[in-house]
């Protein structure tokens, strides 16, 4: 909004030219998100505690430690994350940019699905929530809408191909498969973050590192000189997503302040589903879906561990892991929770660096 209001006034006061720069507005969004998180966080956690008498319903079949140590922790802290992402984006981004409108709408609608799921769990005092089928149907509908909008926005067959990293301007045309592909990327990332969110800070850390990586990717993808120099597809207007990613970094850092071990609050599905959808949508718009899978490798491994576990159990009646997702496996091996979390963060940072390197290695 500030961009739309203040840049036209820069002819009267040249200092307002600052608001033209995506770098300046990205930093503004990050700091605003952080400030909002610190200002609202304590009050919101107290409110969630009052509203949720028993807090997050802890499943009985999980690691027994969770029942002892985590009962009573309030959930739905994701409402803080979404607030700290949406307000700075509305404040600092160019609101006429269709990609900003799309990524905000997608993030908030996945957040609404998660809110409904969390609300059901709390009011019914069990960890069931809405049916997986209903959740997948609603998520897929939104993902298809994103794909359709990208195709209709398409200036010149920009969207519809899968860019291959490490090769200059190499892309595979997906044709109609672009639509199920959008479901795979957006709904897949959303549920992968959801599965990962099973230990204090375990999901928000990799989300932070992924958002920071895509702040850089969005900036260079939306910059014709950099895109041309790096040999990556130029997506006019994608640079504004750097401001959204900046807000996401600030909101994630702010939430981590309260979610770090031992967590005062869990993000809930309202947070995990929304954050994953946000990353998936940014990955689609910047045409860096494979790089998203690399940078978000922790989310991929967590999901694969569940698929392997369920498949193995169904096919040969044996478990591959002591428990899936894989963070529970390490818990049952006796690793302390902070040790699992920080080691997953270290791997996530390494994957983020590899992701950034794909911009240059072509």
Annotate each residue in 246-265 with x if it binds ligand 57M (CB under 6 A) or - if it does not, as one string: -------------x---x--
Q: Is 343 in the site for ligand 57M (CB under 6 A)?
A: no
Q: Do 74 and 129 meet the contact criterion of CB atoms below 8 Å apart?
A: no
- Which lies closer to ligand 57M via its Cβ, residue 97 or residue 272? 272
Closer to ligand 57M at the Cβ: 240 or 269?
269
What is 132-148 written as a DSSP string?
Answer: HHHHHHHHHHHHHHHHH
- Is residue 270 within 8 Å of 79, Cβ to Cβ? yes
CB of 308 to ligand 57M, least distance (A): 9
Which among 38-46, 58-66, 144-152, 171-179 is the span making contact with ligand 57M, rule CB under 6 A? 58-66
Give just the sign of the alpha carbon dihedral 295, 342, 275, 128: positive
Q: Should residue 197 be labelled a site residue for ligand 57M when binding is judged by CB under 6 A? A: yes
User: Which of 94, 223, 244, 269 is in the footprint of ligand 57M by CB under 6 A?
Assistant: 269
Burial (Cβ within 10 Å: 0-12, 13-18, ≥19) of residue 24:
middle
**Which residue's Cβ has the minimum distance to ligand 57M?**
62
Which of 37, 75, 207, 264 forms a contact with ligand 57M (CB under 6 A)? 75
Question: Closer to ligand 57M at the Cβ: 269 or 289?
Answer: 269
Contact call for residue 66 and ligand 57M (CB under 6 A): yes
Candidate ranges 11-19, 22-30, 170-178, 192-200; the one touching ligand 57M (CB under 6 A): 192-200
In the complex with ligand 57M, the residue whose CB is nearer, 30 or 309, is 309
- Contact between 323 and ligand 57M by CB under 6 A: the answer reads yes
- Is residue 340 part of the contact set for ligand 57M (CB under 6 A)? no
Q: Which residues lie closer than 8 Å to 26 by C-beta, 6 or more apart? A: 92, 215, 219, 242, 243, 245, 246
Query: Nearest-CA neighbor of 163 among 294, 46, 263, 336?
Result: 294
Considering only 198, 222, 296, 355, the residue that binds ligand 57M (CB under 6 A) is: 198
Q: Is 191 within 8 Å of 205 (Cβ atoms)?
A: no
Angstrom distance (rounded) from CA 76 to CA 118: 7
Applying CB under 6 A, among 33, 84, 195, 230 the residue interacting with ligand 57M is 195
Q: Smallest gap, in angstroms, from Cβ of residue 104 to ligand 57M?
A: 21
Cα separation values, 34 from 31, 89, 108, Å: 5, 13, 19
CB distance 283 to 185 below 8 Å: yes
Q: How far is the CB of 151 from ligand 57M (least distance, A)?
A: 31
107 belongs to the binding site for ligand 57M (CB under 6 A): no
DSSP letter, residue 321: S
Which residues have a Cβ under 8 Å from the Cβ of 258 and sit 6 or more positions away?
Answer: 41, 45, 77, 80, 264, 265
Reduced to 3 states (helix: H, G, I; strand: E, B; else coil), residue 192 is helix
Indicate whether 331 belongs to the interface with ligand 57M (CB under 6 A).
Answer: no
User: Which part of the chain contacts ligand 57M (CB under 6 A), choosing from 2-10, 29-37, 81-89, 317-325?
Assistant: 317-325
Q: What is the DSSP string of 32-92?
A: HHHHHHHHHHHHHHHHHHHH-SS-SPPPTTS-HHHHHHHTT----THHHHHHHHHHHHHHH
Of 240, 236, 256, the C-alpha closest to 342 is 256
In the complex with ligand 57M, which residue's Cβ is closer, 214 or 266?
266
User: Residues 120-159 vs ligand 57M: string with x where CB under 6 A?
Assistant: ----------------------------------------
**Residue 182 C-beta: closest distance to ligand 57M, Å:** 22
For binding to ligand 57M (CB under 6 A), which residues are involved?
Answer: 56, 58-59, 61-62, 66, 70, 75, 194-195, 197-200, 259, 263, 266-269, 272, 306, 309-310, 319, 323-325, 328
């Amino acid at each position: 909004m500030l961009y739309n209001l203040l840049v036209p006034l820069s002819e009267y006061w040249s200092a307002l030219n600052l608001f033209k720069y995506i770098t300046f507005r990205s930093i503004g969004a990050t700091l605003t998100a952080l400030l909002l998180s610190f200002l609202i966080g304590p009050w919101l956690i107290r409110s969630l505690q009052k509203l949720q008498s028993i807090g997050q319903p802890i499943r009985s079949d999980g690691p027994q430690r969770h029942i002892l140590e985590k009962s009573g922790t309030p959930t739905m802290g994701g409402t803080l994350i979404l607030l700290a992402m949406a307000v700075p984006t509305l404040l600092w981004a160019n609101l006429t940019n269709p990609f900003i409108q799309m990524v905000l709408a997608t993030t908030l609608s996945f957040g609404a699905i998660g809110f409904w799921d969390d609300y059901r769990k709390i009011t019914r005092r069990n960890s069931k929530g809405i049916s997986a089928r209903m959740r997948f149907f609603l998520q897929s509908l939104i993902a298809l809408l994103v794909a359709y909008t990208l195709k209709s926005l398409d200036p010149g067959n920009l969207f519809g191909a899968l860019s291959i990293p490490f090769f200059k301007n190499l892309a595979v045309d997906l044709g109609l498969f672009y639509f199920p592909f959008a479901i795979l990327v957006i709904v897949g990332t959303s549920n992968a973050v959801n599965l990962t969110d099973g230990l204090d800070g375990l999901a928000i850390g990799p989300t932070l590192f992924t958002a920071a990586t895509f702040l850089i990717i969005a900036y260079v993808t939306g910059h014709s000189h950099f895109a041309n120099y790096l040999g990556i597809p130029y997506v006019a207007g994608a640079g504004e997503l750097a401001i959204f990613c900046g807000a996401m970094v600030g909101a994630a850092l702010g939430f981590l302040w309260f979610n770090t071990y031992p967590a005062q609050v869990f993000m809930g599905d309202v947070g995990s589903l929304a954050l994953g959808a946000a990353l998936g949508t940014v990955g689609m718009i910047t045409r860096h879906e494979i790089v998203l899978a690399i940078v978000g490798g922790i989310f991929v491994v967590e999901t694969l561990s569940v698929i392997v576990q369920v498949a193995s159990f169904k096919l040969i009646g044996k478990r591959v892991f002591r428990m899936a997702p894989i963070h529970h496996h390490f818990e049952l091996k006796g690793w302390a929770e902070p040790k699992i979390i920080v080691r997953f963060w270290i791997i996530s940072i390494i994957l983020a660096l590899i992701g950034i390197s794909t911009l240059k290695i072509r």
